[in-house]
Amino acid sequence: MNSPSRSLPSSGLPAATSVAIIGAGRVGGVLAAALRQAGLTVHGPFGRGETIPMVEVALLCVPDSAIADASAAVRDRVRYVGHVSGATPLDDVDFSIHPLQTFTGSESPDIFLGIGAAVAGRTPADTYLAEQLARALGARPFEIDAAHRAGYHAAASFASNFVLTVLDAAEQLAASAGIPDDEARDLLAPLIRRTVDNWQSMGATASLTGPIARGDEVTIARQRAAVDEADPALTSLFDALATATRAVAGQKAAV
């Protein structure tokens, strides 16, 4: 593959498309397995610094800070370079595809089926390639422009990372009430799932219940005192969440 050209078929992604996965972390291994399952010719995942074969596409599954160096290292061996970062611009790559999912590295390749995948490209052809890779995974591609990448990624952090912070606090408070950790998770999980289901179908404002939604400040004060007694480090989190939740309740009252 000397002097790689940058042509693409007019539609679809041929099964013979060759892809090298750079980075063997939580995403790289699962992504390689999923693309291989989709019938593409997949090499890797490779560790950073390893020499990759001549391929059409290199997908960088590396930390954001390593994208520039990883791209430069493979640029002369590929037609297209993409990354899977949600927030990083396209300065050093041709396209990006960000699966809107959380990964531990132990997932089945089927984890991509039906999920969203944020895509972007420097050119229409680059964007098209990202879309076709997303569809090969069984994901649903949607475009995010450069100006909104950080905001989109922050939304993902709120929906996943910050939720875990709140759930960890719930688990700690349940433990302070005498409920063992594993039992607390089993008891709280149905409440969490129902809350998410309600949010998905109706949105936060219509789904909000509890003392803040009722304007029950006496109960809220009791909760705050209990949090402060159990773990003062959680009090500021309780206060911040209560303030934000009052704003959600206010939207409900204004409807």
For residues 136 and 100, give the distance between their C-alpha atoms in angstroms, rounded to a whole number. 15
For residues 74 and 52, give the distance between their C-alpha atoms in angstroms, rounded to a whole number. 7
Q: Are residues 32 and 122 in the same domain?
A: yes
Q: Give the pLDDT confidence score for residue 252 in this predicted structure.
A: 64
Q: At 42, which amino acid appears?
A: V
Q: Give the pLDDT confidence score for residue 14 in this predicted structure.
A: 65
For residue 9, being part of any structural domain is answered with: no
Q: Identify the CATH number of the domain in which residue 36 sits.
A: 3.40.50.720
Q: Could you say which residues of the chain have pLDDT below 70?
A: 1-16, 252-255
Q: Are residues 120 and 230 in the same domain?
A: no
Q: Tokens 């939580």: give the residue.
A: 26
Q: Give the pLDDT confidence score for residue 9 in this predicted structure.
A: 36
Q: Are residues 129 and 229 in the same domain?
A: no
Q: Give the pLDDT confidence score for residue 253 in this predicted structure.
A: 59
Q: Give the pLDDT confidence score for residue 12 in this predicted structure.
A: 63
For residue 58, being part of any structural domain is answered with: yes
For residue 13, being part of any structural domain is answered with: no
Question: Residue 181: which domain range?
Answer: 160-254
Cβ neighbours of residue 60 closer than 8 Å, sequence gap 6 or more: 22, 23, 66, 67, 70, 71, 81, 82, 83, 84, 93
Q: Are residues 132 and 218 in the same domain?
A: no
For residues 197 and 191, give the distance between their C-alpha atoms in angstroms, rounded to a whole number. 10
Q: Give the pLDDT confidence score for residue 49 in this predicted structure.
A: 82
Q: Give the pLDDT confidence score for residue 251 in this predicted structure.
A: 87
For residues 153 and 74, give the distance between their C-alpha atoms in angstroms, rounded to a whole number. 26
Q: Are residues 29 and 106 in the same domain?
A: yes
For residues 187 and 184, give the distance between their C-alpha atoms in angstroms, rounded to a whole number. 5
> pLDDT per residue over 35-86, tens digit each?
999 989 999 999 978 999 999 999 999 999 999 999 999 999 999 999 999 9
Number of independent structural domains in the chain: 2
